[in-house]
């Protein structure tokens, strides 16, 4: 762990989609694991309240919460080193979201691009509209210093910083302004069937993605049938060869080798040989995760999440005591 004069605290959350895939792992979860060594405090949350902003099946939702928690543990989130819990079990998140909502401008929320995109697909509702305020509360309730975010979340982090500054100026200097962490490892993983689009659970084509708990045969099949091009030379060129470039990034991540080295080795010999090597690297990388996932007992995971929520409530309440006092809600 890096030694600092001021402890560095990091927060990140993930929605309980259940079927987490390579894009989730390469783009986020692998970095979550690494940050446990790089920062003094790491706080990870299954943000189930956020997932309620679009229509859902109750049984599937309940199962997805547990499955997501199990995968986080399986990839290497250590509950003895990181705070891990369900957002809904820490009511201070929602309480702070209400307080922050009173200093949030409607215009700011209307400009959120993700709201427009999701509202077009799932319909408008208040929860979806105020989603960024709850996201800000998720971060600020723990007074974290940094947040790992992708390009699609930058706008939300900017709102969080704006609200922290507004609160500090209007009431009391309580919140640090969280900085953006740009992940050191990982890349954007694209669909195996449409390499110009991100890998997504919502894609109706199951061959477009590899789930973290997929069996080796399924992984090999999906890489073997990945869309490439009509040529036979392996080269890293997103304009001309997006499919091959996507597979090279995946291969580089799981093998730990540089893309240039992989291109030198597999440039000739055809796509079949190359895809076989990619599949082998991915299978080797995901096997420990799948094995650990199968070993985890549901009751044990539920207990881990309950313990995490108990700790998270205590920490969040210490913050809320000061926040309530600052806004005039403390005492009689």
Looking at residue 100, which CATH number applies to its domain?
3.40.50.620
Q: Reply yes or no on whether the pLDDT at 285 is more than 50.
A: yes
Q: Reply yes or no on whether the pLDDT at 39 is more than 70.
A: yes
pLDDT digits (tens, 9 = 90+) for 152-174: 778 899 999 999 999 999 999 99
For residue 254, what is the domain's CATH number?
1.10.240.10
Question: Same domain, yes or no, for 56 and 181?
Answer: yes
Question: Same domain, yes or no, for 279 and 179?
Answer: no
* Residue 191 belongs to some domain of the structure: no
What tokens appear for 248 in the block?
Answer: 């090279």
Number of folded domains in the chain?
A: 2
Question: Same domain, yes or no, for 122 and 252?
Answer: no
Task: Point out the catalytic residue in the list 34, 198, 221, 325.
Answer: 198
Task: Point out the catalytic residue in the list 118, 258, 275, 294.
Answer: 118
What pLDDT band is residue 186 in, cutting at 50, 70 and 90? Answer: low
Rounded CA separation 199/34 (Å) = 22
Task: Point out the catalytic residue in the list 34, 70, 116, 201.
Answer: 201
- Report, as an integer, the average pLDDT of 287-303: 97
Q: What burial letters (b/e) apply to 10-41, b meaning 16+ CB within 10 Å? A: bbbbbbbbbbbbbbbbbbbbbbbbbbbeebeb
Question: Same domain, yes or no, for 157 and 59?
Answer: yes
Question: What is the sign, positive or negative, of the torsion defined by CA atoms of 228, 231, 237, 241?
Answer: negative
Rounded CA separation 93/71 (Å) = 23
- Report, as an integer, the average pLDDT of 17-27: 90
- 241 catalytic per annotation: no
Give the model's pLDDT for residue 182: 77
* Residue 4 belongs to some domain of the structure: no
pLDDT digits (tens, 9 = 90+) for 84-129: 999 999 999 999 999 999 999 999 998 887 776 776 666 788 888 8
Question: Same domain, yes or no, for 261 and 312?
Answer: no
Question: Same domain, yes or no, for 166 and 64?
Answer: yes
* Residue 332 belongs to some domain of the structure: no
pTM score? 0.92
Domain that residue 114 falls in = 9-186+298-327
Which CA distances in Å does 325 have to 160, 174, 215, 296, 320?
21, 11, 53, 42, 8
């Amino acid at each position: 762990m890096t030694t600092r004069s001021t402890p560095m605290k990091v927060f990140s959350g993930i929605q309980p989609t259940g079927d987490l895939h390579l894009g989730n792992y390469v783009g986020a979860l692998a970095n979550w694991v690494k940050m446990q060594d790089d920062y003094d405090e790491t706080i990870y949350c299954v943000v189930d309240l956020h997932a309620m902003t679009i229509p859902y099946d109750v049984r599937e939702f309940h199962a997805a919460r547990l499955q997501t928690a199990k995968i986080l543990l399986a990839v290497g989130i250590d509950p003895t080193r990181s705070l891990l819990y369900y957002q809904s079990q820490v009511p201070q998140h929602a309480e702070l979201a209400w307080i922050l909502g009173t200093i949030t401008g409607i215009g700011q929320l209307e400009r959120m691009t993700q709201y427009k995109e999701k509202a077009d697909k799932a319909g408008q509702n208040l929860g979806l509209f105020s989603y960024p305020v709850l996201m800000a509360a998720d971060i600020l309730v723990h007074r974290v210093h940094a947040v790992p975010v992708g390009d699609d979340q930058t706008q939300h982090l900017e709102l969080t910083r704006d609200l922290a500054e507004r609160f500090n100026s209007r009431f009391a200097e309580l919140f640090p302004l969280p900085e953006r962490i740009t992940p050191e490892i990982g890349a954007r993983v694209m669909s195996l069937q449409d390499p110009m689009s991100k890998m997504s659970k919502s894609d109706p084509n199951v061959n477009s993605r590899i789930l973290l708990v997929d069996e080796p045969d399924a992984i090999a099949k999906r890489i073997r049938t990945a869309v490439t091009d009509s040529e036979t030379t392996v080269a890293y060129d997103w304009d001309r060869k997006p499919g091959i470039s996507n597979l090279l990034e995946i291969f580089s991540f799981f093998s730990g080798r540089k893309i240039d080295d992989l291109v030198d080795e597999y440039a000739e010999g055809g796509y079949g040989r190359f895809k076989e090597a990619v599949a082998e690297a991915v299978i080797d990388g995901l096997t420990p995760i799948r094995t650990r996932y199968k070993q985890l007992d549901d009751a044990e995971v539920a207990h881990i999440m309950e313990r995490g929520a108990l700790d998270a409530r205590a920490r969040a309440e210490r913050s809320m005591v000061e926040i309530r006092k600052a806004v005039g809600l403390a005492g009689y």
